[in-house]
Amino acid sequence: MGTNANRADAAVGFPDLSRVPPVDEVGVNERVARFQSRSIKKASKVEALKCILSMIDLTTLEGQDTPGKVRQLCQKAIHLHDAMPGLPHVAAVCVYPNMVAVAKEALRGTDINIASVATAFPSGMSSLDLKLDDTRMAVEAGASEIDMVISRGAFLAGEYRYVFDEIVAVKEACGDAHLKVILETGELRTLDRVRRASELAMHAGADFIKTSTGKIQPAATMQVTLVMLQAIRDFFASTGRMVGMKPAGGISNAKLAIHYLVMLKETLGNAWMTPEWFRFGASSLANDVLMQLEKQATGVYQSADYFSKD
Amino acid sequence: MATAENTLAFSGGWEYAPAPESTDHIEVASRYGLFIDGDFVRPEKGRYFDTINPATEERLSRVALAGPEDVDKAVKAARKAYSSVWSRMKPAERGKYIFRIARMLQERAREFAAIESLDGGKPIRESRDIDIPLAAAHFFYYAGWADKLEYAFPGRRPRPLGVAGQVIPWNFPLLMAAWKIAPALAAGNTVVLKPAETTPLTALKLAELIADAGLPPGVVNIVTGAGDTGSAIVEHPGVNKVAFTGSTAVGKRIQKALAGGRKSYTLELGGKAANIVFADAAIDQAVEGIVNGIFFNQGHVCCAGSRLFVQESVADEVVEKLSQRMETLIVGDPLDKNTDIGAINSKMQLDKIRDYLKVGEAEGGSLHQASGKLPRKGYWCRPAFFTGVSQSSRVVQEEIFGPVLAIQTFRTFDEALEKANNTPYGLSGGVWTDKGAKIFRMTQGLKAGVVWANTFNKFDPTSPFGGYKESGVGREGGLHGLDAYLRLGE
């Protein structure tokens, strides 16, 4: 990730929540349906597929992860599908804190970022001190991006100041690492809350806002992502600061990912159409995108066994 | 509020490749006669006129120009079919025919959608997702009523009126034909229908479909032509009921022609709908509703939300977001699946819209239009809005029937309501607020036939549609629409 001067003094103070506009779910659904009715063909499809690959945070977040599995994933991150020349590499590899060192070693010499979840991921049910230690540990091990979770319990109880302060503290513990704030929209339930949590996170200094841990259903949907993109757009309009967006979980095929790109393009414009400002948190998306690229190049679908599963 | 550094860039970058709907599956004859008494026949005087594709200015076909003698033939055929077959048929049998039309429309939806876009210029997304499915839905809905008229009007004795003369506009050619034909047939009437001269093709395809459906000859007759043909239908003594959708000026002429006579009539006329956005509205969704309200079908919509009233504390934000959203609207080839705004229906209409753009600026309004390239040939207009206009501006008072929005601000609820009602029209309106109580207060106060809350331009066959004041007389759709084709005896 490139550095950006305006990220240094990220926090802009507690937001005026009375100014946060309501969200109408019916209207959001209609807008999403319009994005999905876009027909993306030929050259524009190939361009989109390559763009999607470059935006992927290749992720493994399981209790059974081993150093071997993480090394495999890193190998995949660098060599997506060498049979096809000219492909980009993914944006980052995303692992638990105790696997960061392994990933760092495996990705040495590349410019692929290492993202680590932290702050008692995925539930966030711990004390602030432990969350900060968790964050520092991941950063010291070499993570350049931290994916934190907000305290949903506090948020749902209306303790917005607590949630805000916690994000500010984690951001400080991140040092130079970029902070992605996971709202866990599947637990927030309403789009109004998604919008409000997005405001809190951005005002508290988030470099990215992210939908989900992937551990709760529903994970990312186009609806919540649209609401978060609109929050980012409004935050940019009022502060001039760009914030990135990461939908995570549930985006497993290329067609859906292309619809996300359409939504991104028509909501935030060209400036966000790079891995610096948009990521897909996904584990199985890459292979479907590769398969579609092969289809575009050769006209036929190939067996899934021609693409490495790591 | 936008500064140079925090403006979003939508042009350039990743672009959508052309995704045109194919036309190799459609059949358009090089020439169409008049559909009278179950057959396509030559017009008596042998005259034809061109129908062109407004996106390319190329001729699609030639269609017959019906004179008074042709109209007379059509009305007589309709009368014969009414007396000898249709009004005597068991209602359940009538219903079967209408259901069959509905099903066949669904089966041929793809062809109808492509032809509708070719002939009228509307984007294929709309003809495919809205016009054709809604047209079929109207036939399905009224087919169901055919054998239940006594239940629709309990205690009354519903009887058909006879021959219905129907004249429809060019903005929703097939859908308007469905709105007119479906309730007429369900109630037991027969029909002489004239499509608009710039968009006759889907009505003629519907005539083919009706013939294929095996409807008895003369139950539906479709004659093509311009205003004179329409007058001949309206004034024909053999017509029992007139149904017209079109401009208020023509509607007034029809009302004069019918005054003192015994023909019943419904008129669906112009509009200048107020779309009212309160500060507590879901702003992003309201902006989307504003776009759907005025740019749907190039603004060629009688119920278009052409006057926007925004509460002043959010006015800058709404206008800024609207202009951003307009940058993402794709204007161009109506057959491209990604097109949001197609071609203006005719040269005449384009000239009229351009005149209004000049008038609005001359009146001191500030014109904003989306950027972006337009095709070289064809009739096009970039989506536009005026700010700095007032109730006395012509672009606020008069129906433009194009993608041109007039924006005003308001401070209080009462001010919004007063300005919204301060128009000769009263077809539709929109209210955007997060407060239910405000919605009900506003809908009770608005003098308009249809009011949408937190949405706009939604249509359903079960819902009555029609105007207050100079927007028309009578209702179409729902039970009200059925009522308009019946005599209710005791």
By C-alpha distance, which of A46, A49, A60 is closest to A92? A60
Q: Is A43 on the interface with B (CB under 8 A)?
A: yes
Q: CA of A255, closest CA in chain B: separation in Å?
A: 14
The minimal CB distance from A41 to the residues B5, B12, B19 is found for B19
Give dist(CA A214, CA B295) in Å, integer.
39
Q: What is the pLDDT of residue B5?
A: 56
Our measurement of the distance from residue B336's CA atom to the centroid of its chain's CA atoms, rounded to an integer in Å, reads 21
Task: Estimate to the nearest angstrom the gap between the alpha carbon of B430 and the chain centroid.
Answer: 18
- Residues of chain A neighbouring B13 (CB-CB closer than 8 A): 265, 269-270, 273
Question: By the 8 A CB rule, do B296 and B327 touch?
Answer: no
Q: What is the pLDDT of residue A10?
A: 64
Nearest CA in chain B to A236: B6
State the pairing for strand pair B264-268/B472-473.
antiparallel
Interface A-B, measured as beta-carbon pairs within 8 A, has a size of 91
Q: Where are the domains of chain B?
A: 31-269+468-489, 271-453
Determine the distance in angstroms separating the CA of A7 from the nearest CA of chain B, rounded to an integer: 15
Q: Which of B21, B126, B302, B399 is catalytic?
A: B302
CB contact under 8 A, B284 and A230: yes
Round to whole Å and give the CA distance between A122 and B169. Answer: 59
Q: Are strands A145-149 and A178-182 parallel, antiparallel or unpaired?
A: parallel
Say whether A38 and B16 touch across the interface (CB within 8 A). yes
pLDDT band at A6 (very low <50, low <70, confident <90, very high): very low
Q: Which of A27, A261, A268 is nearest residue B454 as measured by Cβ atoms?
A: A27
Q: Which A-chain residues 245-304 have CB contacts (< 8 A) with chain B?
A: 261, 265-266, 268-271, 273
Instruction: Give the bridge partners for B389, in sequence order.
Output: none
At B97, list the tokens: 């025919």
Quick one: closest CA in B to A22, which residue?
B282
Q: Which residue of A has its CA nearest to B313?
A: A19
- Cα three-residue angle B278-B280-B283, rounded to 5 degrees: 80
CB of A230 within 8 Å of any CB in chain B?
yes
Using 50, 70 and 90 to split pLDDT, how confident is the model at A11?
confident
Name the residue of chain B whose CA is nearest to A229's CA.
B284
Task: List the single best residue of B1, B3, B14 to mutate versus A (max A Cβ within 10 A).
Answer: B14
- The catalytic site residues of A sit at 147, 210, 246
Say whether residue B115 is in contact with chain A using an 8 A CB cutoff: no
pLDDT digits (tens, 9 = 90+) for A87-108: 999 999 999 999 999 999 999 9
For chain B, list residues with pLDDT below 50. 1-4
User: How many residues belong to chain A?
Assistant: 310
- Paired with B36 in beta bridges are B39
What number is the average pLDDT over the span A286-299? 95
Instruction: Identify which of B3, B14, B434 has the shortest CB distance to residue A44.
Output: B14
Q: Output the pLDDT for position A283.
A: 87
Please check whether residue B336 is in contact with residue B364, taking contact to mean a CB–CB distance below 8 angstroms.
no
CB contact at 8 A, A237 and B1: yes
Question: Which tokens belong to A3?
Answer: 């550095």
Instruction: Please count the CA atoms within 13 angstroms of the CA of B465 that sit on its side-chain side.
Output: 21
Distance from CA of B134 to the nearest CA of A (A): 17
Spot the catalytic one: B268, B399, B470, B476.
B268
Interface membership of B434 toward A (CB under 8 Å): yes
| Contact between A197 and A155 (Cβ < 8 Å) | yes
How many Å apart are CA B385 and CA A162, to the nearest integer? 44
Chain B interface mutation, best of A18, A24, A296, highest count of B Cβ atoms under 10 Å: A24
Question: Contact at 8 Å (CB) between A245 and A272?
Answer: yes
Distance from CA of B343 to the nearest CA of A (A): 19
Closest chain A C-alpha to B339 CA, distance in angstroms: 9
CA distance to partner chain B, nearest, from residue A263 (Å): 11
Q: Which residues of B touch A273 (CB under 8 A)?
A: 13-14
Closest partner CB to A233 (pick from B8, B129, B328): B8
Residues in Cβ contact with A144 at an 8 Å cutoff, skipping those fewer than 6 apart:
A1, A92, A113, A114, A115, A176, A177, A178
B129–A27 CB contact, under 8 Å: no
pLDDT value at residue B452: 98
CA distances from A280 to A52, A264, A288, B471 (A): 8, 12, 13, 51
Closest residue in B to A239 (Cα–Cα): B6
B132-145 vs B109-120: helix crossing angle, rounded to 10 = 120
Q: Do A44 and B288 touch (CB under 8 A)?
A: no
Q: Dihedral of CA A254/A260/A265/A266: which sign?
A: positive
| Closest CB from A31, A41, A48 relative to B288 | A31
Lookup result for tokens 């989109």: A48
Beta bridge partners of B134: none
Complex ipTM more than 0.85, yes or no: yes
* Secondary structure letter of residue A85 according to DSSP: T
Chain A partners within 8 Å of B15 (Cβ): 44
A40 touches chain B (CB under 8 A): yes
Shared fold status for B31-269+468-489 and B271-453: no
Tokens of A215: 């551990």
- Encode chain B in three state secondary structure: CCCHHHCCCCCCCCCCCCCECCCCCCCCCCEECEEECCEEECCCCCCEEEEEECCCCEEEEEEECCCHHHHHHHHHHHHHHHHHHHCCCCHHHHHHHHHHHHHHHHHCHHHHHHHHHHHHCCCHHHHHHHHHHHHHHHHHHHHHHCCCHHHHCCCCEEEECCEEEEECCCCCHHHHHHHHHHHHHHCCCEEEEECCCCCCHHHHHHHHHHHHCCCCCCCEEECCCCHHHHHHHHHCCCCCEEEEECCHHHHHHHHHHHCCCCCEEEEECCCCCEEEECCCCCHHHHHHHHHHHHHHHHHCCCCCCCEEEEEHHHHHHHHHHHHHHHHCCCECCCCECCCCECCCCCHHHHHHHHHHHHHHHHCCCEEEECCCCCCCCCCCCCCEEEECCCCCCHHHHCCCCCCEEEEEEECCHHHHHHHHHCCCCCCEEEEECCCHHHHHHHHHHCCCCEEEECCCCCCCCCCCECCCHHHEECCECHHHHHHCCEEEEC
Token pair belonging to B155: 């205690």
- pLDDT reported for residue A8: 43
B490: number of CA atoms within 13 Å, CB side? 0
Cβ of B283 within 8 Å of Cβ of A45? The answer is no
Does residue B175 sit in helix, strand or coil? helix
CATH code of the region B271-453: 3.40.309.10
Distance from CA of A232 to the nearest CA of B (A): 12
Q: Is the pLDDT of residue A3 over 80?
A: no
Minimum distance, in Å, between the CA of residue B401 and any CA atom of chain A: 24
Chain B residues with CB under 8 Å of A264 CB are: none
Find the closest chain B residue to A267 by CA distance: B325
Q: Which residue of A has its CA nearest to B320?
A: A237
Using CA atoms, how far apart are residues A115 and A56, in angstroms rounded to an integer?
12
B323 has a chain A CB within 8 A of its CB: no
CA distance B32 to chain A (A): 34
Distance (Å, rounded) from C-alpha A125 to C-alpha B13? Answer: 43
Where would I find the beta strands (DSSP E) of A190-292? 208-210, 244-246, 280-282
In a mutational test of the B interface, the residue from A34, A39, A44, A266 whose CB has the highest number of chain B CBs within 10 Å is A39
DSSP state at residue A89:
P
Whether residue B438 lies within 8 A of chain A, CB to CB, comes out as no
Got the DSSP string for B58-108? EEEEEEE---HHHHHHHHHHHHHHIIIIITTS-HHHHHHHHHHHHHHHHHT
Instruction: Provide φ and ψ at A75, rounded to 5°.
Output: -60, -45
Contact of A20 with chain B, judged by CB distance below 8 Å, is answered with no
Number of neighbours of residue B46 by Cβ within 10 angstroms: 9
Q: In what order do the strands lie in the sheet with B241-245?
A: B39-41, B34-36, B220-222, B190-194, B163-167, B241-245, B264-268, B472-473
Residue A2, pLDDT score:
38
Q: Are strands B428-432 and B404-410 parallel, antiparallel or unpaired?
A: unpaired
CA neighbor of B308 nearest in space, from B299, A19, B380: B299
For chain A, which domains are there?
A: 26-295 (3.20.20.70)
Going by their DSSP bridges, the two strands A280-282 and A56-59 should be labelled as parallel
| Best to test chain A binding among B22, B284, B314, B335 (most A CBs inside 10 Å) | B284
Q: Which residue of B lies nearest to A50 if distances are taken between CA atoms?
A: B14
Find the DSSP H helices in A211-253.
222-239
Percent helix, strand and coil across chain A, each rounded to 5? 50, 10, 40
Interval A159-209: pLDDT, tens: 999 999 999 999 999 999 999 999 999 999 999 999 999 999 999 999 999
In whole angstroms, give the CA distance from residue A254 to residue A237: 31
- For the record, the structure tokens of B366 come out as 């500030």
Return the structure tokens found at B144.
């169901």
Under 8 Å CB-to-CB from B335, ≥6 apart: which residues? B20, B21, B23, B55, B114, B117, B118, B124
Query: What's the fold here for domain B31-269+468-489?
Result: Aldehyde Dehydrogenase; Chain A, domain 1 (3.40.605)
Partners of residue A268 in chain B, C-beta under 8 Å: 8
Q: From the list A21, A51, A271, which residue is nearest B282 (CB)?
A: A21
Residue B365 near chain A (CB below 8 Å): no
CB of A37 within 8 Å of a chain B CB? The answer is yes
